[in-house]
Amino acid sequence: MKKTQVVICGAEGRMGKLLVACAKKDPALALAGTVDSGDDLNDIIASADVVIDFTTHTASPALAKIAAAHKKALVIGTTGHSESERALILEATRGIPVVFSANFSTGVNILFYVTRLVGELLKDADVDISETHHTKKKDSPSGTAKRLQEILEAVRGRDVPVHSLRIGEVVGDHTVAFTTPDERLELTHRAIDRATFARGALRAAKWAVTQESGLYDMQDVLGLGK
């Protein structure tokens, strides 16, 4: 079996180190190279099938441009992009398969799916989103909370508030609460180990190399309807 060759960008970071460790353990993957701040992706991209970006929002547009110029698939886990950074990424990557997801955990993607469903079933309930992460997280609200907000605002046609907390070492908790005058339904996901994101991103990388050009997310990788 031919192994999928991955390049990991942001390899010295919290997620990057896990991605490297998980990729080395996966018999279907080979590590074609790693990149961190100060390295040039152009130097090692030739041997890759797919580039994985877990860096920082300002770095993603240039990495996306290089992946597209070399016709390599791309997996983007980095969050916190501005509108203009996101537009640059989408513009650059029209000719390649891209999996762009604020959260690569299976449980969170099921939460996205169930949130849409409950949002439709409980249209009249008040709804709010709360999220808690470790104190080193740079963006707030989290990309996952923003995605939940987007899903709910599309279903309900009105603003949905997000509350963010930054505490200690919390890996990532998200709760969507639906409240009526006499009951409250809460959907909660807690990430226990960051490896869940790394394994999900590597699954997305193996999937991306089999896809036509286009923009996908983890729900596509998991085959969850939207």
SS3 105: coil
Task: By CB under 6 A, tell whether 132 contacts ligand NAD.
Answer: no
Q: Which of residues 8-27 bind ligand NAD (CB under 6 A)?
A: 9-10, 12-16
Distance CA 95, CA 101 (A): 18
Q: How far is the CB of 16 from ligand NAD (least distance, A)?
A: 6
- Give exposure, 105-120, as e/b (b: 16+ Cβ within 10 Å): bbebbebbbebbebbe
The mark string for 149-188 relative to ligand NAD (x by CB under 6 A, - otherwise) is: ----------------------------------------
Could you say whether residue 48 binds ligand NAD (CB under 6 A)? no
User: Which listed residue (72, 81, 133, 189) is catalytic?
Assistant: 133
174 with 129: CB under 8 angstroms?
yes
CA 35 from chain centre, in angstroms, equals 19
- Between residues 89 and 127, which has the closer beta carbon with respect to ligand NAD? 89
- DSSP code, position 215: E
Q: How far is CA 109 from CA 71, 99, 120, in A?
A: 28, 13, 17
CB atoms within 10 A of CB 70: 14
Q: Which is nearer to ligand NAD, 104 or 112 (CB)?
A: 104
What is the per-residue binding string for ligand NAD in 66-105, x denoting contact by CB under 6 A?
-----------xxxx--------------------xxxx-
**Residues designated as active site:** 133, 137
Binding positions for ligand NAD, rule: CB under 6 A: 9-10, 12-16, 35-37, 54-56, 59, 77-80, 101-104, 139, 197
